[in-house]
Amino acid sequence: MDNLKEFHNPESLKSALELLAQPGEGIYPLGGGTSISISENKKIIQLVNLDNLGLNYIKDKGGRLVIGAMTTAQDIIDSTALNDISGTVLKKCAKTIGSQQIRNAVTLGGNTCGLFVWSDMPAMLLASNAEIHLASKENERKISAEQFFLKHPAQILKKGEICIEVSFPKLDNKYLGEFIKFSRTNFDKTIMNVCVFFYLKEKKIRGLKIAVSGCISLPRRLKELESKLEGNAMDEKLPEKIIKEASVIKENLNFISDMKASKQYRKKIFETIILDAIMGTVLFS
Amino acid sequence: MKLNLIINEIKKEIEISPDETLLTVLRKERYYGVKKGCGRGECGACTVIVNGRAKKSCLILAGQMEGKSITTIEGIGTADNPHILQEAFVSAGAVQCGFCIPGMILSAKALLDKTKNPAEGEIKSALDGNLCRCTGYVKQIEAVKAAAKMLKENNAGKYAVKKEKIT
Amino acid sequence: MIKNLKTVGKSVKKIDSFSLSRGEPLFTDDIHLKEMLIVKILHSPHAHAVIKNIDTSGAEKLPGVHHILTYKNVPRVNFSTAGQGYPEPSPYDTFIMDKKVRFVGDRVAAVACQTEEIAKKAIELIKVEYEVLPAVLDPKEAQKDGAPLIHDEKEARMLIPVEYNPKKNLAACVNMNIGDTGNGFKEADFVFEEEYESHYAQHVPIEPHVTITYLDENNRLIIRTSTQVPFHVRRIISKALGIPVKKIRVIKPRIGGGFGVKQEMLLEDICSLMTLRTKKAVKLEYTRKEEFISSRTRHPQILKLKTGVKKDGTITAIHLESLMNTGAYGSHALTVICNTGSKCLPLYRCKNIKFDGKSVYTNLPVGGAYRGYGATQGYLALEIQMDEMAEAIGMDPLKFRLKNHIRKGEGSPVFEALGEGTEGTKQKIKSCGLQDCIKIGAKEVSWNKRNQLPKSGRYRQGIGMCCLMQGSSIPYIDMGSCFMKMNEDGSFNLMIGATDLGTGSDTILAQIAAEELGITEKEIIVYSSDTDFTPFDAGAYASSTTYLSGEAVRKTAEKIKEEIIKIASNMMHEKAKNLFVEGGKVISKKSKKKISFSDIAYNAFYAERQQQIMATASHTTSASPPPFSAHFAKVEVDTLTGKIKVLKYVTATDCGTAINPVLAEGQVEGALLNGISFALTEKFIFDSSGRLLNANLSDYKIFSTSDLPEIKTILVPTYEPTGPYGAKSVAEIGINGPMPAISNAVYNACGIRLRCAPFTPDKVLEAL
């Protein structure tokens, strides 16, 4: 950040977007600050602080939970509005992020758009069919989480464009859900995240959604696995079935290696963490 | 650039450079209780309270603090009038080298300001960003429990502590 | 045991904890000096290379750059960075800077600049052309003929007469042979031979190394530094820079943790040179990354242990071999490997014991002193194999240890054969609470129910244990001393070279002085570790402060007490033998008359036979009485992910008299948690060229509060007659247990023997 020259504290979304739309390179939005403040990015010349734009809110809007991009992980944990199953799972997810001081700083928008090694939200957003609301000076658009994470968000976001809001459908109370973060210690970055949602109809799994992150390069829904498990009975044979099907589909995944675990290890534990998430829903609800 | 903020209840106007972190600025202003252990948000020695919440000052650009209210360790107790947590940390033997302690106490304060009667899990979770290599955390968790108990029993008067706002 | 102790044995509040809890400016960096320059170091990007050309002209032209150091303009004097007694038992193989670099992180150049930003830019402007040499990263390879030679400089030498052969990358070598192990193995019913591996680790003091230097009004060099060894730093700087000791003053303020990594002269030479050349105040502070790549580490060891045991539980022979990787320099290379033998092998009775230790150079980060100091590595092997022996003969591992461990009144031939680099010192154990430690700890952890814990299914639980000993100071080598003087109000100034690095030694030394003088510790004003104002002390290492410096303090207090009584005897017209001290007064047993310390001091200052009441004493020891400990770990193993969770950890420790029980517990607990995360998550990850990849605290994982298992700390009091008020050491021993105790617990849970630390989930899965 050796070249940072200007720091803007705009007080409206409009002026923030105007600042970001200025011609030329080097203008970056600043969310919670957890990545930018330690960044060695020499391209950063101007920063636009998004803190005072009124983007910190959690609303229940026509059957959807709508969360402002500057809402912190701790705001999510403390929220009383997030009381359905997707809200509960989102809270569980937020609790696994970083340490207390980080949870006080990390924002939903930053965690989503930055796709940092400490981004634990994306699997949850994918499994809950979330919609990412983007805005720039010229344009506003909504894009599904699935589309959003097809590439690295940096490739999705256009110049001057930021995430201003994330929303997802409230799930009625027949739904079960779970989020699991598997890491070395409790205050750590993930080795593998899994989020699942489904409901039981006549004891059979319906509407199953499974998403993973941290173990492969981009977060993704596991639709193939979802379809293999859809309609299966929630009985004593299910764990075996999950292990079997997950073991098959993992052959098509490109696991990653990093300081926390090798790709071989991630591949080894893959089906176990999937199993824990699906079976955990029963305990969790 | 000019930065207007409140540090330990005193309004300040400070000249900063846009690339400076809050940690750098606070130490320049001689709030030496704010320690630098890693500069990357990993150790928590630089923890301060910003508008009621514990944050790592090395992960904040000073410019983000416009209009904000910051509490450092210097702002919560004095030799004659220590904060209940400072008293509890000393009594429990929770202070060894003491380098992590200002941050640890501020994290604990942010917790107790919000949660009157924290469970052990909540204490562990509130302090999980404050690394300590000396104590093994055992006595620090005891200290926070003791402080919470003292506050609950309304024993605060005994220590002549300025009344803590508990919500 | 001494009864009626007033201050010793009480958990008085740590005297500096009030100010520390307020965040007062007490640490090295908490001062503001005018126009202080900032120093940054350029580190080698190569594991092994010769600097062909170094061009600093670009950096010199940068405004704000005051001075640049390279190998070309620093004195070519070699030394050891190890802060040990003189002559150091570590090889002289280090220069301030050299033409050759020997590991990724070695020093290439240093700049002193007006600001940190300028310093960073100046570092980038230094152009270095390297001739990259083949590197050796494996200690086994380093020993082979034709391996790259790391110390081919002609100056490399050892000051003491021990084997040192840099031409074979051999930094140290030690052999000990007691009895006849060959025969011992023949007598055995079962013989075991296994290989164990203990890994690299960093100390992670939360305050990284930092030094500030400046010239005082008399042009003397002041070194304000975060060190465990201020007097050794003064001596090493004097020799390395060629300036007389009298021109140097080393001040140790409060220290933000050390654990051994600050028993080293690491920054002070460069910082001092910059001040001497620029005449300005200078600061050099390591970043966390530099702390990892360029300070010191725990020495990794590959241990081969062979033991023989009879069916009745008699251990017939022990042969321990260890190959230690000292990295690019030999700091503590000899003494750590010696300790692997000398602090582990006396624990169990055995007639035939052999130890072969080697320290070899590699092009990897440099080992140094680290809490546990070789014993940590040794106990990994010894205590796992003790479990294996017990199992083979069908004896409860706990009973097997109870049967064999050393007892009060017994000696061990190992004490005599193996010391710190040379021969050891004969000693008999005068205090040992290990029996009680084992029994009390076992009860607390429910040892007898360990086989009823879940042993099948996904999550399996088990309990493992181990026994440990360490030492207390280095006999006949290290010295501590003390000076005390009395003030008019009956208070005392206690001046000690002993170095409190967060442990609370200032407090417990004040308690010892107070006890001897019959006052409370509040009457003692402690000032420690300033080479101008406090007498010599070797420093804070080798578990010595309580035992060694503590006795120096007790002796001084005893002397000053005699002095006080002598004056009181004159004042009271009573015989000295009838007088005693209590509650800040001298009291006559005979007449019951009392006179206060304050009155005595006034009398001495202003009335009769005017004098300053003061005393001084030095102390060395002839023994190194071991503290003992039994550790018990209860774990749960997830057999599908391989993750080990420590559910409960019990320690029972005999440290003699705990001068301050809460502080003693704090020593055990801190060492323990460091040991647990060392056993489970802490590890160095290198790439194939020897570069450390995880030089930060998010990739190198130490435990936080949320990982803390249930911990039960038990102190088992004994009385050590050679220590102050019966005290032994307690600082290091606690770190030695977690590796073997957890490994043994995992075996109890699911039947796998983990011998290669750290016990990460992937290794567990592989073993299952």
Q: Which of A22-26, A144-148, C291-295 has the lowest mean pLDDT?
A: A22-26
Q: A29 is written with which tokens?
A: 């939005």
Q: Do A264 and C703 touch (CB under 8 A)?
A: no
Position C426 scores a pLDDT of 94
Other CB atoms closer than 10 Å to residue C560's CB: what's the count? 25
Which of B22, B43, B56 is the best mutation test for A, with the most CBs of A within 10 A?
A: B56
Q: Which residue does chain B place closest to A41, by CA atoms?
A: B19
H-run or E-run covering C416: helix C413-417
Residue with tokens 């307690």: C730
What per-residue confidence (pLDDT) applies to B161?
43
Q: Report CA-CA distances (Å) from C53 to C42, C73, C96, C101.
A: 14, 14, 18, 13
User: What is the per-residue pLDDT across C490-520, written as a single tens digit (0 to 9) for each?
Assistant: 999 999 999 999 999 999 999 999 999 999 9
Nearest to B151 by CA among B119, B121, B113, B106: B113
For residues C33-56, average pLDDT: 98
Q: Is B137–C665 a contact, with Cβ atoms under 8 angstroms apart?
A: no
CB B35 within 8 A of CB B23: no
Check if B111 contacts C (Cβ < 8 Å): no
Cβ–Cβ below 8 Å for C641 and A264: no
Cα–Cα dist C46/C48, whole Å:
5
Which residue type occupies C375?
Answer: A
Render pLDDT for C643-678 as a digit per residue (tens, 0 to 9): 999 999 999 999 999 999 999 999 999 999 999 999
Question: Tell me: the pLDDT tens digits for A96-109?
Answer: 999 999 999 999 99
- How does the average pLDDT of chain A come out, rounded? 94
Alpha-carbon gap, residue B125 to A92, rounded angstroms: 13
Instruction: Categorize the per-residue pLDDT at B167 as very low, low, confident or very high, splitting at 50, 70 and 90.
Output: very low
**Inter-chain CB proximity C22 and B132 less than 8 Å:** no
Q: Give the tens place of pLDDT for each residue, C706-737.
A: 999 999 999 999 999 999 999 999 999 999 99
Interchain proximity C204–B131, CB inside 8 Å: yes
- Give the tens place of pLDDT for each residue, B61-88: 999 999 999 999 999 999 999 999 999 9
Amino acid sitting at position A50? L
Q: What is the β-pairing status of strands C585-588 and C579-582? A: antiparallel
Asked if the model's pLDDT at residue C280 lies above 80, the reply is yes
- C-alpha distances (whole Å) from C5 to each of C10, C14, C509 are 9, 18, 15
For residues C51-80, average pLDDT: 98
Radius of gyration of chain A (CA): 19
Neighbours of chain C (3+ CB pairs under 8 A): A, B
Q: Say yes or no to pLDDT of C97 above 70.
A: yes
Question: Residues of A near C (CB-CB distance < 8 A)?
Answer: 2, 99, 117, 182, 184-189, 258-262, 264-265, 268-269, 272-273
Locate C345 and state its tokens: 């092998």
Q: Please tell me which of the candidates A51, A100, A105 has its beta carbon nearest to residue B59.
A: A105
Residue C2 has pLDDT above 70, yes or no: no
Q: Reply yes or no on whether the pLDDT at C447 is more than 80.
A: yes
Residue C686 near chain A (CB below 8 Å): no
- Kindly state whether B120 is in contact with chain C, defined as any CB-CB distance less than 8 angstroms: no
Q: How many CA atoms lie within 13 A of C586 on its CB side?
A: 27
Q: Which residues of C touch A272 (CB under 8 A)?
A: 640-641
The verdict on a CB contact (< 8 Å) between C663 and B125 is: no
**Residue of C20, C21, C252, C500 to mutate, testing the B interface (most B Cβ within 10 Å of its Cβ):** C21
Q: What is the mean predicted confidence (pLDDT) over C16-34?
A: 97
Chain A residue whose CA is closest to B123: A100
Distance CA C144, CA C136 (A): 10
* Span C535-547, average pLDDT: 95
Give which of C22, C545, C707 to mutate to test B binding, by max B Cβ within 10 Å.
Answer: C22
Residues A147-159 pLDDT 10s = 999 999 989 999 9
Q: Which residues of B touch C704 (CB under 8 A)?
A: 127-131, 137
Burial class (CB in 10 A: 0-12, 13-18, 19+), C456: exposed
Helices and strands of chain C, counted as H and E runs? 19, 26
C487: phi then psi, degrees, rounded to nearest 5: -110, 170
| pLDDT value of residue A285 | 46
Q: CA-CA distances (angstroms) from residue A274 to A192, A195, A241, A277, C220?
A: 10, 8, 12, 5, 67
Residue indicated by tokens 């101007």: A46
Q: Which residue has tokens 């019966």?
A: C726
Quick check: B155 pLDDT over 90? no
Report percent pLDDT > 70 for chain C: 100
Alpha carbons C188 and C191: distance in angstroms, whole number:
6
The pLDDT assigned to A266 comes to: 98
Instruction: List, for residues C354-404, the tens digit of each pLDDT value.
Output: 999 999 999 999 999 999 999 999 999 999 999 999 999 999 999 999 999
Query: Which residue from C468, C486, C402, C390 is spatially nearest to C436, judged by alpha carbons?
Result: C402
Contact C681 A99 (CB under 8 A): no
Q: Do A188 and C694 touch (CB under 8 A)?
A: no
Question: Is the model's pLDDT at A2 over the cut of 90?
Answer: no
**ipTM exceeding the 0.85 mark:** yes
Distance from chain centroid for Cα C369: 6
Segment C124-161, tens digit of pLDDT: 999 999 999 999 999 999 999 999 999 999 999 999 99
CA distances, C98 to each of A110, C94, C109, C286 (Å): 46, 8, 10, 20
Give contacts of B102 with chain A, Cβ < 8 Å. none
Q: Which residues of B touch C702 (CB under 8 A)?
A: 131, 133
Element (H, E) at B90: helix B84-92
Which run of H or of E encompasses A272? helix A263-284
| Residue C577 burial (CB count, 10 A) | 10
Q: Inform me whether the C-beta atom of residue B79 falls under 8 Å from chain C C-beta atoms.
A: yes
Q: Identify all chain A residues contacting C761, using CB atoms and an 8 Å cutoff.
A: 184, 261, 265, 269
Q: What is the pLDDT of residue A24?
A: 86
Provide, as residue numbers in chain B, all residues whose Cβ is less than 8 Å from the Cβ of A36. 61
The token duo for C535 is 């007498």
Pairing of strands C614-619, C480-486: antiparallel
pLDDT surpasses 50 at B166: no
CB within 8 Å: C704 and A187: yes
| Residue C264 per-residue DSSP state | B
A101 to B40: CB separation less than 8 angstroms, yes or no: no
Question: pLDDT per residue over C191-214, tens digit each?
Answer: 999 999 999 999 999 999 999 999
> Who among C255, C663, C696 is closest to B93 (CB)?
C663
- pLDDT for B160 equals 41
What's the distance, CA C324 to chain centroid? 18
Q: Side chain identity at C343, as an amino acid letter?
A: K
- In this prediction, residue A39 has a pLDDT band, given cuts at 50, 70 and 90, of confident
List, for residues C302-332, the tens digit of each pLDDT value.
Answer: 999 999 999 999 999 999 999 999 999 999 9
Rounded to an integer, what distance in angstroms lies between the CA atom of residue C158 and that of residue C359? 14
Which tokens is C582 given? 């209590």
- C-alpha span between C68 and C59 (Å, rounded): 8
Mean pLDDT, chain C, as a whole number? 97
- From chain A, the residues in CB contact with C701 under 8 A are 184-185, 188
Asked if A99 and B19 come within 8 Å (Cβ–Cβ), the reply is no
Q: How many CB atoms lie within 10 A of CB C134?
A: 10
Measure the CA dihedral B62/B65/B66/B72, to 10°: -100
Res A172 pLDDT > 90: no
**Which H or E element spans position A211?**
strand A204-213
Pick the closest to residue C232 from C79, C352, C345, C371 (CA basis): C79
What is the average pLDDT across C347-353? Answer: 98
d(CA B39, CA B33): 15
Query: Under an 8 A CB cutoff, do B130 and C705 touch?
Result: yes
